[in-house]
Amino acid sequence: MKKFTITALAFGLCFSAFAQDTPDAAVVQKIRKEGLENSKAMDIAFNLTDVSGPRLSNSPGLKKAQDWAVKQLTDWGLKNVHLEAWGTFGKGWQIDKYYAATTLPYYHTIIASPKAWTPGTNGPIKSQVILIKADSVADLAKYKGKLAGKIIMMDQGTPLASGVKPDFSRYADTTLAQMAAAKPQTAGPRQRPTGGPMADRMAQMMKMREIRAAMSAMLVEEKVGLILTYARGGQGTFFTSNGASYALDAKPVSPELEVAAEDFLHILRLLRAGKPVEIEADIKTSFYDQDPQGYNVIAEIPGTDKKLKDEVVMIGGHFDSWHAATGATDNAAGSTVMMEAMRILKAIDFKPKRTIRIALWSSEEQGLFGSRGYVAKHFGDPKTMVLTPDQKKISAYYNLDNGTGKIRGVYLQGNVAAGPIFQSWLTPFNDLGATTITINNTGGTDHQAFDAVGIPGFQFIQDPADYNTRTHHSNMDTYDRLVEDDLKQAATIIASFVYNTSQREAQIPRKELPAPQPARP
């Protein structure tokens, strides 16, 4: 530890031009000690996952976790801790009962989950399964009048491949080197393919979508008992996809189960072979529409510098999850790390120059709604680029939402000027595997809401772990998938980044402001 301190100081002397971006080794060392030796990360994660349950937008599970976070952040001594509405979301939803099993050709319990925001079966049902074969909307006519109360499935499903690659991986040095060597890219406007196999595939997709829409309406009209849908995955893991609409005025849909691949394919093979399959099921779900508002959890460590205390460093991650598990890596992990980073800064009694603010977003999974709503309310409209005065006060926003994997570096989102600053801030954590600055973008989560209005918003490079193979939106995204050492490392590095950002003389440099988005015709 002593040796590390000297090295960091020496670095500071050599590159005096970057002195303001050179970490204060003593403070970084305190952060590191607190983060790695006194971590509460697994306690936080336990409360978000095992104790709270699935945290689907506006569900009782999300509310429970939000209330716990408000209390916990308050207990740690953060200020201005509150739930803040970001706008109208719609209905909450949760599973109250799920049971399904084949009773013919023999008894076998089915691993599955109701699709989010679908209704239950209105009591136990039992029926032979009807296999629907439809290549066009017209093909559906033959099923009219035959589906009331029946359990049905579409004739589609992909045979399973065996796992010849490990579920869990870390980035190789060569991959990180490629990321570091990436050049800034200017992305042209996305164009639709006008011919070739890609266009064929899109045409096929459009046709399937048309059939599905017609099917969906017909099935409601026919009062179908239950739809079985193939869920991607394997070996007991299955991935959920977007369910029905959560809008207050959503059209009615049929009860629908996403069925683990093994169980779905079992039934499909039997039906294709003309063997009768009978299923019994009992599904209850609840909708919650008393308060359609969506909320984010907000809390602060107030700034103490006369000149800078109105400026803010923000960190965050989305707090909501899907419903088939407890969303441990998506995104209790990121939420845990961000809460733990705040705890670390309080634990070392850090008095920042700028205010430090944490935001735990909701409804990220439906379209970054929590962060976009917050940004719209506080900082401006990315469509018109009409900005508020507060937009200028946010030095940077740091986000974490790529699973349990430890931090290997930072995505600059094209912000070239931030590169040397972050490179310097990573130096004390090179020994923990965090070394890489890449000019690349990463998308799909809440830093984009900030980036869209010209506030520097960043995500960290994280080891893939088993995010894509096992956990991302799956029924197996549980506490068991969290790697304690990785969460500790991430919280420590982010606490240090926040510390540096809050003390830095200047704000983090900004990219050119994005152009207003032209209105769609």
- Residue 18 or 168 with smaller CB distance to a second copy: 168
84 three-state secondary structure: strand
Nearest-approach distance from CB 67 to a second copy, in angstroms: 13
- Residue 23 or 114 with smaller CB distance to a second copy: 114
- Residue 256 or 466 with smaller CB distance to a second copy: 466
- Residue 32 or 115 with smaller CB distance to a second copy: 115
Question: What is the rounded distance in angstroms from the CA atom of residue 439 to the CA atom of residue 198?
Answer: 29
Residue 122 to residues 125, 136, 224, 282: CA-CA distances in angstroms? Answer: 8, 30, 12, 8
- Residue 285 or 331 with smaller CB distance to a second copy: 285
Measured at the alpha carbon of residue 463, what is the angle toward residues 159 and 453, in degrees to the nearest 5? 100
- Residue 101 or 385 with smaller CB distance to a second copy: 101
Nearest-approach distance from CB 500 to a second copy, in angstroms: 32
Question: What number of residues does the chain have?
Answer: 521
- Residue 391 or 471 with smaller CB distance to a second copy: 471
Nearest-approach distance from CB 143 to a second copy, in angstroms: 25
Residue 328 to residues 30, 51, 59, 479: CA-CA distances in angstroms? Answer: 28, 12, 16, 5
Nearest-approach distance from CB 167 to a second copy, in angstroms: 4
CB 515 within 8 A of CB 385: yes
Question: What is the rounded distance in angstroms from the CA atom of residue 149 to the CA atom of residue 144?
Answer: 13
Nearest-approach distance from CB 101 to a second copy, in angstroms: 7
Nearest-approach distance from CB 369 to a second copy, in angstroms: 23
Question: What is the rounded distance in angstroms from the CA atom of residue 324 to the CA atom of residue 115?
Answer: 9
Identify the H or E element spanning 71: helix 60-75
Residues that bind a second copy (CB under 8 A): 46, 50-54, 60-61, 94-99, 101, 105-109, 111, 113, 159-160, 162-169, 234-238, 260-262, 265-266, 269-270, 273, 275, 326, 465-466, 470, 475-476, 478-481, 483
Nearest-approach distance from CB 192 to a second copy, in angstroms: 36
Question: What is the rounded distance in angstroms from the CA atom of residue 464 to the CA atom of residue 483?
Answer: 12
Cβ count near 220 (within 10 Å): 13
- Residue 238 or 460 with smaller CB distance to a second copy: 238
Nearest-approach distance from CB 43 to a second copy, in angstroms: 9
Residue 335 to residues 33, 112, 300, 389, 516: CA-CA distances in angstroms? Answer: 21, 27, 15, 28, 31
Beta bridge partners of 237: 234
